[in-house]
């Protein structure tokens, strides 16, 4: 059956690979991104988030079968907080009503294995309290203090926690919508191009993000998982943060999942 998908970050990397994989299967994809997309919006802004929902409603005719909240940034910047956490939530929550008309609605977000790194608790709490001005303020403080490296992982930890906290709720599980996340390791995309530009840089990166199983992955690897999580076949995964990371979660966390 042909399904209609909304994919954010569709112009590049994992989002583009996902859109391709879905259209190859005959599905319809409505892409959203800053540029080169059906819906061109800036998800760091309230206006952009509202436009996303309004245009998705128009283009889909009022029903989506799946939402893939994937757009993101990794720079130490306030925009990273605005798009990775608040933009992803606005995508998932704003588009949830459009999933109501689907016979097999699905939703997924792209988190990261970086959610395992030490986080800034004040930024994390501001995100989880849904206080965007406080979160942006704290992120700027971290950047000014030379601790901007914590911003990305903290936004991804917050996103993963939000998924865990909301997946079983009346709005998601109660409406028969599996809500899950993927947590990629290092993936070859424009986001990581500089980090993997030389052998030496790659070696340093893999020391931080160990990937004993097959090393750095192509975007298609994550795309295939996103396609499964948003397929009709996925009826019972609820609030899972699935690490597709060549083993970094296992190496870093070991037994601690239980
Ligand atoms: N590449 C990796 O190693 C890796 C690892 C873990 C998680 N991720 C996550 O995967 C997702 C996709 O990243 P990617 O590697 O494909 O990177 P990418 O840079 O190739 O693609 C990200 C896309 O998001 C879009 N985007 C950024 N800010 C936006 C905004 N304000 N509004 C709308 N769109 C915006 C960009 O324009 C771009 O097309 C991100 O959430 C990223 O954090 C990537």
- Asked if residue 253 belongs to a domain, the reply is no
Q: In what order do the strands lie in the sheet with 28-33?
A: 39-40, 28-33, 4-8, 66-69, 106-110, 179-184, 241-244
Look at residue 221 and tell me if it is in a domain. Answer: yes
Residue 254, domain member (yes or no): no
Two tokens, residue 152:
């990305």
In-domain check, residue 155: yes
Asked whether residue 256 is assigned to any structural domain, the reply reads no
Domain limits for position 92 = 4-246
Whole-number Cα distances in Å, 170 to 53, 97, 207, 244: 21, 13, 42, 28
Q: Which atom of ligand 1 is nearest to the CA of 187?
A: 3
Residue 256's pLDDT is 86
List Cβ neighbours of 244 (8 Å cut-off, separation of 6 or more): 182, 183, 184, 185, 217, 221, 222, 225
pLDDT for residue 1: 85
- Dist. CA 124–CA 49, nearest whole Å: 21
* The predicted structure's pLDDT at residue 225: 99
CA neighbours within 13 Å on the CB side: how many for 14?
Answer: 29
pLDDT at 22: 98
Q: How far is the CA of 258 from the centre of ligand 1 (A)?
A: 30
> Does ligand 1 have an atom closer than 6 angstroms to the CB of 77?
no
- How many domains are there within the chain? 1
Does residue 255 belong to any structural domain of this protein?
no
Q: What is the pLDDT of residue 194?
A: 94
Q: What pTM, to 2 d.p., does this model score? A: 0.98
Instruction: Take residue 144 and report the two structure tokens written for it.
Output: 């000014």
Q: Mark the ranges of the chain whose per-residue pLDDT is less than 50.
A: none
Q: Is the minimum distance from the CB of 72 to ligand 1 under 6 angstroms?
A: yes
Domain CATH code at residue 226: 3.40.50.720
CA of 128 to the centre of ligand 1 (A): 21
The ligand 1 atom at the shortest distance from the C-alpha of residue 48 is 32
CB 221 within 8 A of CB 244: yes
């Amino acid at each position: 059956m042909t399904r209609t998908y909304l994919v954010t970050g569709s112009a590049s990397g994992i989002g583009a690979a996902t859109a391709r994989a879905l259209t190859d299967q005959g599905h319809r994809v409505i892409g959203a991104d800053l540029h080169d997309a059906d819906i061109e919006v800036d998800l760091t802004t309230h206006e952009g988030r509202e436009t996303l929902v309004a245009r998705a409603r128009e283009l889909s005719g009022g029903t989506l079968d799946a939402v893939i909240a994937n757009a993101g940034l990794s720079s130490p910047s306030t925009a990273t907080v605005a798009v990775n956490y608040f933009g992803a939530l606005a995508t998932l929550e704003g588009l949830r009503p459009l999933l109501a008309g689907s016979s097999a609605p699905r939703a997924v977000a792209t988190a990261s294995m970086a959610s395992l790194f030490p986080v800034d608790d004040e930024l994390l709490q501001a995100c989880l309290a849904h206080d965007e001005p406080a979160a942006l303020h704290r992120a700027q403080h971290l950047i000014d203090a030379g601790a901007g490296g914590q911003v990305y992982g903290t936004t991804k930890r917050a996103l993963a926690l939000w998924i865990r906290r909301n997946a079983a709720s009346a709005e998601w599980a109660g409406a028969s919508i599996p809500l899950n996340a993927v947590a990629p390791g290092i993936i070859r995309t424009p986001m990581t191009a500089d980090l993997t530009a030389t052998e030496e840089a790659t070696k340093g990166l893999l020391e931080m993000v160990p990937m004993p199983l097959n090393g750095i992955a192509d975007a298609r690897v994550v795309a295939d998982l996103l396609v499964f999580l948003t397929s009709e076949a996925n009826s019972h995964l609820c609030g899972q943060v699935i690490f597709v990371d060549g083993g970094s979660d296992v190496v870093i966390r070991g037994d601690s999942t239980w």
